[in-house]
Amino acid sequence: TLDGSVLLQSSLSFMESPKGVILNESCLSYKYTQYGEGRHRLVSNTSNFLQNLYIFDGLKARGIPLTLKASLPRGNYSILFEFQSDSMNGSYAQIDDVKIADGRCPNYTVSCNVDEFFCQNIMWNGDVFDICLPNVTKCNGHVDCTDGRDELDC
């Protein structure tokens, strides 16, 4: 897009980073915005051996930008950002502001910005993945966190 973000749109679409060497365990962070129904998967690709880093499956989103983070192990690989939708209603996803920082993401948790709040939202393979949602989605009458914490104490 003109603002530098990448749109993933179709029944199956992906964006792959150039292959690179991660010398130390690192933390990948990026903004993810999904419109409509779909599945988002983050995958490492080592010589065509694909390993899931995490999956958001069955997510129904309304265009709320999420701050996502995943720990990256040491190694030589590329990263795949994948979006898949079975619906024909024009679902798509947007990826922006991709960053890698030294060190493991602490317990797959997220440090939210001042204009965001913490939402423990996704569970996969026994691990809980946390996200940050914009403050405007808190107490808006729509449950955005699976545990409903965004609509408590309103």
pLDDT in tens, 109-125: 456 778 888 776 544 44
Please tell me which residue, 15 or 106, carries the higher pLDDT value: 15
Average pLDDT, the chain: 77
Q: Is the whole model's pTM more than 0.75, yes or no?
A: no
Task: Please determine, for residue 107, whether its predicted confidence score (pLDDT) is greater than 70.
Answer: no
> Cα-flanking dihedrals φ and ψ of residue 89, to 5°?
-100, 20
Most confident of 19-28, 33-42, 127-136: 19-28
b/e 13-24 (16+ beta carbons within 10 angstroms → b): beeeeeeeebee
Domains by residue range for the chain, with CATH: 6-151 (2.60.120.680)
Give the closest residue to 28 by CA, choosing from 111, 108, 99: 99
Asked if 60 and 37 count as a contact pair (C-beta separation under 8 A), the reply is yes
Please report the DSSP string for 27-86 in residue order: EEEEEEEEEEEEEEEEEEEETTEEEEEEEEEEEEEES--EEEEEEE-SEEEEEEEEEE--
Q: CB within 8 A of 38, min separation 6: which ones? A: 59, 61, 83, 84, 85, 87, 91, 92, 93
Q: What is the pLDDT of residue 124?
A: 42
d(CA 77, CA 23): 11
How does residue 135 score in pLDDT terms, banded at 50, 70 and 90?
confident
Give the closest residue to 56 by CA, choosing from 69, 44, 41, 66: 41
Task: Please determine, for residue 3, whether its predicted confidence score (pLDDT) is greater than 60.
Answer: no
Tell me the residue length of the chain.
154
- Digit-coded pLDDT (tens) for 31-84: 888 887 788 888 888 887 888 887 766 556 667 777 788 888 889 999 999 888
* Average pLDDT for 143-148: 74
In angstroms, how far is the first alpha carbon of the chain from the final one?
37
